[in-house]
Chain A
Amino acid sequence: MERILLKNIDNPESHRLKEYERVGGYSSLRKVLEQMSPQDVIEEVKTSGLRGRGGAGFPTGMKWEFASRDPKFPKYLICNADEGEPGTFKDRPILERNPHLLIEGMVISAYALKAEIGYIYLRGEYPYAKTVLEEAIREAYEAGYLGDNILGRGVRFHLSVHQGAGAYICGEETALIESIEGKRGQPRIKPPFPVNVGAWGMPTVVNNVETLANVPYIVEIGGEEYKKIGSPECPGPKLYSVSCCVKRPGVYELPMGTTLREIIYEHAGGIRDGRQLKAVIPGGISTPVLTPDRIDCPMDFVSLPKYGSMLGSGAVMVLDDSVCMVKVTWRAMRFFEHESCGKCTPCREGTGWLRNILERLEGGMGRPGDIELLQDVAKSIQGKTFCPLGDGAASVVLSFVRNFPEEFEFHIKEKRCMVGEG
């Protein structure tokens, strides 16, 4: 497949406006402003079948329709560049190497939504991306792609970067909005949804970087043509970030629905050091782990649930037979405990208890009954938390225990790891 989102990124100047224009950049924005009404753009995106790439896979055109139907003004457009899900680094090449694609996508989206102010919520861990984005925004203002009279068409859109400061939960859209408003990043109850009551109480669309980066291409070739790429139920190109025990880790742009097997063995070069595949976390640390017999699963939003997991952010973490599953579960839980925002009790307390039990298992001090205890605590979190962070934490424990019970039992009985140095 030709690259769409990562087009031209091997060119060292790909982040500059001139280079982006040279390969056809901003022609979709021209087309939109010259030939399309805001509603036309929304219809085109609906036709395309584009689904949000931030994790939940919500249909983008529908989200825009909801926000655009709300009579309240002003409306806001926010790009979610928090990219905090461990294992995920797919938005990074767009932010660092193709920032104008994102900006063009945002201006088109803002036009469709009649939003005049936008923010890119960028994680604090990406200081280089901040420099690149701010320079790209400056270039776009200078060239008339941003500002009070975009391309002389009387369209207004102002864009700036809002830098986060190391809180995973701020990737959740309502916590993100709180954070933009200058508050502690704790999620809000839904409904109302941000499309109606978002930033400063106004209709707000929050979309992931990759989602917005698809928009110029949809405008360019039309929704009908776009729909032919990838899976019928979730079309388009998809960025998969592949890490851990493969020969060629990296970001791969492939048609949505490419199988895990193809991603791991053809694109990422297979398992390193002649080792055996043991487990795959298919969509970032919050998604349930899969065993090797499940890797013929197409990587899209509808197929993964049938195989017992989720697409999440498309972050494929490949673990070989040298890796201890108890240790991975423990480290994942340390993450969830650290990142729980503290608002609701099951998540705040439960993640701490789970980490505690996992730590003693890992440290060779596990007790009989600890596996049941893990499951019991996880089930007391699942479905009982304010936002999906707690569910993610619970499902990680439950899936690792279910798929690798012998490793947990070995830790309790033998007081050490089944694998390696442990």
Chain B
Amino acid sequence: MEAFLREVQEVVKRYPQKRAAILPALYLAEQRFGWLSQEAYEAVAEALNMPKATVKGVATFYSMYRKAPMGRNLIQLCTNVACMVMGAETLLQLLERRYGLRPGGTTEDGRFSLVVMECIGACDRAPAMLVNKDFHPNLNENNIIEILEGYS
């Protein structure tokens, strides 16, 4: 907790007002608590001396914060127009067949969670996904499984 508070204080210095640190602090809390649990919201609220409701109100606006517990690996697969045209839908079907994974869901063994993304800025190498922080472009039915098998 000490370390978390110190990190938040570091971030606060970049801004003329404390409140501006909410977004970065939420990322830090996610790293520390794994997801934005009640405990995580409380930690951010306390670090920034703000009501928990304010912090939560901000977090819920942004789709990339983890508002529920997630699997060990988060697959963020783009299905926007370029990726759709280049075959993202068959990849979605494949993930369901192979891992029983549906958008918004997590595998029973907690290995993967899947979130469908709007454009992730890789339309020239579509379809594309992020797994955790790793970027994987030019996906097809063969390489996507190979790539995912590399995550345990």
Binding site for B on A (CB under 8 A): 74, 83-89, 92, 117, 119, 123-128, 158, 160, 162-168, 179-185, 200, 241-245, 249-251, 281, 285, 315, 317, 319, 323, 327-328, 331-332, 335, 338-339, 341
Contacts and interface: CB of A to CB of B under 8 A. Distances in A.
Contact of B123 (A87, A117, A185, A331): A87
Interface residues of B, number: 40
Interface stretch (B1-9, B112-120, B142-150): B112-120
Interface of B: 14-17, 19-24, 26-27, 57-58, 61-65, 76, 79-82, 84-86, 117-126, 130, 133, 135
A74 B16 CA distance: 10
Given A87-B123, A244-B86, A163 B27 contact: yes
Between B16, B57, B81, B123, the greatest number of chain A beta carbons within 10 A of the residue's beta carbon is seen for: B81
Nearest to A319: B85
A88 B133 contact: no
A124 B133 CA distance: 10
A193 B126 CA distance: 37
Contact of A166 (B20, B62, B122): B62
A86 B61 contact: no
A167 B63 contact: yes
Contact of A86 (B15, B16, B21, B119): B119
Contacts of B117: 125, 166
Between B20, B84, B120, B123, the greatest number of chain A beta carbons within 10 A of the residue's beta carbon is seen for: B123
B67 to A, nearest CB: 11
Contacts of B122: 89
A165 B86 CA distance: 26
A184 B58 contact: yes
Nearest to A165: B62
A249 B123 contact: yes
A183 B19 CA distance: 8
B141 to A, nearest CB: 16
B20 A339 contact: no
Contact of A335 (B22, B61, B76, B80): B80
Given A162-B24, A184-B58, A285-B81, A87 B119 contact: yes
A251 B125 CA distance: 11
B80 A331 contact: yes
Contact of A249 (B15, B76, B124): B124
Nearest to A158: B14
22 contacts: A87-B81, A89-B124, A119-B14, A125-B130, A163-B27, A165-B63, A165-B65, A166-B62, A180-B15, A182-B17, A182-B19, A182-B23, A184-B61, A243-B123, A244-B82, A251-B124, A315-B123, A317-B123, A328-B84, A331-B81, A335-B119, A339-B118
B62 A185 contact: yes
Contacts of A249: 123-126
Contact of A182 (B21, B121, B135): B21
A86 B124 contact: no
B20 A180 contact: yes
A168 B62 CA distance: 10
Contacts of B21: 182
Contact of A331 (B61, B84, B135): B84
A123 B130 CA distance: 14
Contacts of B118: 84, 86, 166, 168, 335, 338-339
A116 to B, nearest CB: 11
A323 B24 CA distance: 40
A243 B80 contact: no
Nearest to B84: A331
Contacts of B14: 119, 158, 160
A241 to B, nearest CB: 7
A165 B81 contact: no
Contacts of A89: 121-124
A123 B64 CA distance: 10
Nearest to B118: A335
A285 to B, nearest CB: 6
Nearest to A166: B64
Contact of B121 (A83, A181, A341): A83
A86 B22 contact: no
A36 to B, nearest CB: 28
Given A182-B21, A335-B80, 4 more contacts: A84-B118, A165-B64, A243-B123, A244-B86
Given A88-B119, A183-B58, A243 B130 contact: no
A244 B119 contact: no
A166 B123 contact: no
